[in-house]
Every structure is written in C-alpha cells, then in structure tokens.
Amino acid sequence: MRLLVTGGCGFIGSNFIRYVLDHYQPEMVTNLDALTYAGSLESTADFLPEFGDRYEFIRSDIADFGGVDEVLSKHSYFAVVNFAAESHVDRSIMSPENFIHTNIVGASNLLNASRRHGVKRFVQVSTDEVYGSLGETGRFTEGSPVNPSSPYSASKASADLLVLAAYKTYGQDVVVTRCSNNYGPYQFPEKLVPVAILRALANEAVPVYGDGLNVRDWIHVEDHCAAVFDVLMQGRAGEIYNVGAESERRNLDMVRAILSHLGKSGESIEFVADRPGHDRRYAIDSTKIRAEIGWKPLHTLERGLADTIEWYRENEPWWREVQRSR
C-alpha cells in the first residue's frame, strides 16, 4: 500500500506519517510538502534513518497541478491524505489570498489528479472551525451547517464542499474528517499551547486574546492521527467524521495549566486585543466515528499536556531551529 501524504512536514502531517510508519507496514509513504512557513524538515529529520526506503520526501506545491499530476503518475497510490493547508487564523485575516491558493485551489488539484490516476481513496483532513461558533451548550455533529468566521475556516469549508461534491458528481471515493484543537509535539510555535510553553520557559509574558474565556475542545495529535488512519481504512465513502476528545477547556485555563506545570505565576498572563471574528466556543460530537469505526482517544488532556510541555523542554534544538529559520 502506497500513501501520498500532503503537508507531511507540518505539525499534524508529520505526526501522522510517524504514526503510520511506527504502527503499520505501508509499502511507501510519500510526503509532498511545499515547505511554507509552518512546514519544517526538522520535524521529519528522523524519518529516513528510522524508516529507510519506506519513506520519501518531494518538495512541491499542491496548488501546482503539473507538480501534483507528475507525482501521482509515477506510482499507483492507494490513497491521498490531504493535510496540506495554511492554518493560522491571524495570518488568514492579514493575507487571505494565500489560504485560497493552498486550501481551495490545492485541494481541487489533488482531487482532480487523484481521479485522473485512479487513486482509490481521498481523505480531506479538515477542522471543526468550519462550523463556526457554538453557544454555551451543545456540540457540533456532522449534520451541523458550515458557518465559517474567518478566511481560514471559509477556505477549509470550501475545500470540504469540493471534496464532497466529487463524491456526488464523479463517484470519487472520498472521506472528510473534522477535528477539534490539536496539541502535542512538533507544533509550530505560533499556536496557543507552544506559545504559552515557550514564553513561560523564557520568563516572558504569555499573551491571551480578549478575556481568555473562549472554549476549545482539545485533542492530542496522536489521537487525531489514529482517527485519520482509521477513517482512511474503514470510513464510508462520501461521509464526514467528526473527531474530538470531549476535553473542553477555556483558553485561559489551558495557559494557567501550562504555567502551573512549569512552576510559573499566573501574573505572567497578558491579555491582548481580541482577534476579529474570534469564535467563542467549539465542541465536537464524535459519536459517529466511535460507533461506526471504534476509535476513541487514548490520551487524557492532563497527561497529554504534561507530556507536551516536557517534550518542548527536552527538544529545544528543534524549536530553536524552527524559530531561527523563520
């Protein structure tokens, strides 16, 4: 079985490749990544020494149809798993065109090239942000309408709709996963958890948007990777699968937990102007994937967050190099 994983030098993509090669025996995993700001070869530096000829890297942009078509023409791939995306909401507000380029045009190119070359299955890795904001109660189900609040989430919703339309129009075997907020090793140091960890380690102020009471449903990246692989192998064509760990926390409480673990005072928290269109609450109902496929998260938030903090402490060369090269 050959897999083409796009965006495999990013946070979730690199963890997915590591998970698959550690736990299974695919013939080959090809990592296609453009190495934009959040993609780093440092995140995959151990792949060739550890996995040898079961892994290959190709630098290419999924928004370049010729490059994608050439890659898919060389081998018979069982599946394309699309992690490639511009993903930072703040950056999407400043430069939405980059998100349209990668997240929409790129997904369309991958779909078209996959059909052209007979790829058996296409997995679109998406986000709960496409649903917009929840009130104080309830959870997003797969039937919840999309109601994106930022250029980032709008671009991901657009890609999801293109993928689902390919199933209805062409009968293409596609599945979509929509996951809650990830945390874990190799996350680019601009998201809440790594920012809080690295600022705290440096004895710097830790920024928190608005009042910090925005709620997110947190999941360890390895649990997300397991879910994506399970959907790849067992999901029903044309379906959406929500992935969540039922671990809702306010952003402020996540930061406080990180500071507490590091023995730091909450006085280092600095409240900053809120992000435009900042969704108040996300929460995922993952009943469908649990009932149909049997997936469930293995990491508790408390243990997973502690392990993540220690990973950043122990892997300073990685985040130093990532910061230096940006």
**Active site positions, annotated:** 128-129, 152
H/E/C letters for each residue in the chain?
CEEEEECCCCHHHHHHHHHHHHHCCCCEEEEEECCCCCCCHHHHCCHHHHHHHHEEEEECCCCCHHHHHHHHHHCCCCEEEECCCCCCHHHHHHCHHHHHHHHHHHHHHHHHHHHHCCCCEEEEEEEHHHHCCCCCCCCECCCCCCCCCCHHHHHHHHHHHHHHHHHHHHCCCEEEEEECEEECCCCCCCCHHHHHHHHHHCCCCEEEECCCCCEEEEEEHHHHHHHHHHHHHHCCCCEEEEECCCCEEEHHHHHHHHHHHCCCCHHHEEEECCCCCCCCECCECCHHHHHHHCCCCCCCHHHHHHHHHHHHHHCHHHHHHHHHCC
Q: 272 — phi, psi (to 5°)?
A: -120, 165
Name the CA radius of gyration of the chain, rounded: 19
Torsion region of 82: left, alpha or beta (phi above 0 gives left; psi -120 to 50 gives alpha)? beta
Q: Provide the token pair at 204.
A: 């710097």
Determine the Cα–Cα distance for residues 189 and 193; give it in Å rounded to an integer.
Answer: 8
> 195: closest CA among 248, 258, 152?
258
